[in-house]
Amino acid sequence: MKVPIVIAWLPEKWASVAPVLQAGLGEVNLMLFSHMQAAQSFVEKTIVEGGELFLLIAPLPEGKEFLTESLYRWPLAYGLALTDDSNFIEERADYLTVLVNGDVRCLHPHLNELRERYLERRERERKQRILTELHRVSLSLTGEVRLERLIFKLLRIAIDNSGAKYAFLIVPAPTNPEKFEVVGYAHRSDHEPRPYHSRELQAEDRIFHLLVLHAARSRENVLLSQAAGDTIFHHHPDWERLGAYSLLCLPLIYQGQLIGLLYLHEPEPEIETQPERMEFLKLFTAPAAVALQNAQLYANMEARVRERTEEVIRQKEEIERQSLLLRQQNEDILASLRYAQRVQRAIFPSWSELQKTLPESLLFYQPREIVGGDFYWFAQRLSKIIIAVGDCTGHGIPGAFMTIIANTLLKQIVELEGVFKPSEILYLLNLRMRAALQHEEEMYQRFREGMEISIIQLDPKRRKLLYAGAGRPLFVVRGRKGEEIRPDKITIGAPYEGDAPEFSLHSMDLDPQEMIYLFSDGFADQLNPENKRYQIRRFYEFLELIAEQPVRQQAVLLESELSRWMGNVRQTDDILVLGIRVT
């Protein structure tokens, strides 16, 4: 942190103020000038050289021009005007005016006030820098689902923000969470991932194993340094063998589960421990844990799909010789899809959890394939519940991949960053979906993946509702009269010109027994044997007809109406209807 600079123009009449300034301002670089021209020149020099200009001091009336001009040039600084004429106290200015009558010690409370305001501003700026950097790296991690690249990004970010020479990523063993494996390594000079074969923790002799096990059990950040004093770890043989000056171990925790640990080693100067850097590293572990967990799930799904695809190809060759193996091939394909379904359901929130919070709720979910591109999501914070229903591009495995990205982004925005207003959630979701899908890059611009989604914030106790929608409306039924709340005609992730679009926020009070419906377009777009669509108007009329029924009965009636309309026609699209009764 730069030493703050105070520039004071004090003519001979005010020379007695200098000792008070030095005593009252603490650790600052106090520059005293008896001539205004010299003070102005030093202000210019400080601004040009990037110095931390904190306070400008001058007497009135002669110093008014100096203060006004200097504060115009550098508005982040504070101004203090000294006067022995009470007439100047009433003047409105951008600086603080203090009446000095004989005893210059009256300046002390004003100097303390200015110093506290300066320190508070610097602290706000420091926290904002941390959050900005955390937001940047979170976006980078969210857009990376390839496990190898993600591991390197995690290690590179940790090295850049700690000053360590090299870093390892350690994860619980898949077959035994009590044991650990080292799955990644990066050196300070690395700018691309280097080959590293996973091995047991005990087999990696560059790591202080006892320190890692201690951090895993305590789930707390552990910094071990020669400068930190004598501890039990300093007497361990591995400490002497490794020849380290500083070691830092950071557990990655998500929803109470240990996802992995970042291990940082510095043999020469101590790992950088400035409060701002350490605070960033502590906050960074949360998005790092989420990104690592999702990349592992994605890698497992991708590996299983790849294995099944290779198996299907082999079976196809065999089928050409033996038609009896056709049944086995179909069963293998279904097994792949069911595995993808289990992975998708493992990532999405449990419907039973939402029903515990909102017992009077229904879910009618019928994907066209075993997995699909429609999804629901919810989170609860204190008295407010955030609920989303989305319709992603595509069906089957492609649609499922899109829902995983959407789910990951919603977790990050709502659960990690604490954004609860639906319109703000949609704004951030739109930006990050474009980043995750890389639509800004020319080679990916021909693809048009995206998502339509409706999001509500529900306060059941106060019966308050906030809604914002991107392509998907909200339908509210009072008695047997329904009202459509229309969405913004924006597709999440779609190209746009100029600034990112903002979303409308709708607020309403709810009455007991009202029904709220969020849904995809699958029900209204379903074709019948005559190739006619069900249409949104007919869908709204049907919801008005069944809204007074118990929620479980409504789900049965929706299924019956869909079956009646479809006849023997194949399902057109994924279908999802979520209803909530206000109690």
Q: What is the mean pLDDT of residues 440-451?
A: 57
Its pTM surpasses 0.75: no
How many other β-carbons are positioned within 10 Å of the β-carbon of residue 517?
23
**Rounded Cα distance, 17 and 31, in Å:** 13
pLDDT digits (tens, 9 = 90+) for 310-357: 888 888 777 777 766 556 666 666 666 676 677 777 778 888 889 999
The confidence score (pLDDT) of residue 446 equals 47
**According to the model, what pLDDT value does residue 467 have?**
98
pLDDT > 70 in the chain, percent: 92
Burial of 180 (0-12, 13-18, 19+ CB in 10 A): buried
pLDDT band at 444 (very low <50, low <70, confident <90, very high): very low
Residue for token pair 């205004």: 36
Strands 96-99 and 78-83: what pairing? Answer: parallel
- Tokens coding 155: 């290690």
- pLDDT beyond 80 at 237: yes
Please report the DSSP string for 426-480 in residue order. HHHHHHHHHHHHTTTSGGGTT----EEEEEEEEETTTTEEEEEEEB--EEEEETT
Non-local CB neighbours of 333 within 8 Å, separated by 6+ positions: 308, 312
**What are the tens digits of pLDDT across the range 261-286?**
999 888 776 665 566 777 787 888 88
The 10s digit of each residue's pLDDT in 206-221 is 999 888 899 889 888 8
Whole-number average pLDDT of the chain = 85
The token duo for 457 is 């914030």
**Domains contained in the chain, CATH given:** 5-126 (3.40.50.2300), 143-296 (3.30.450.40), 348-581 (3.60.40.10)
Predicted confidence (pLDDT) per residue in 61-94, tens digit:
888 889 888 888 888 889 888 888 777 776 677 8
Q: What is the mean pLDDT of residues 521-534?
A: 96
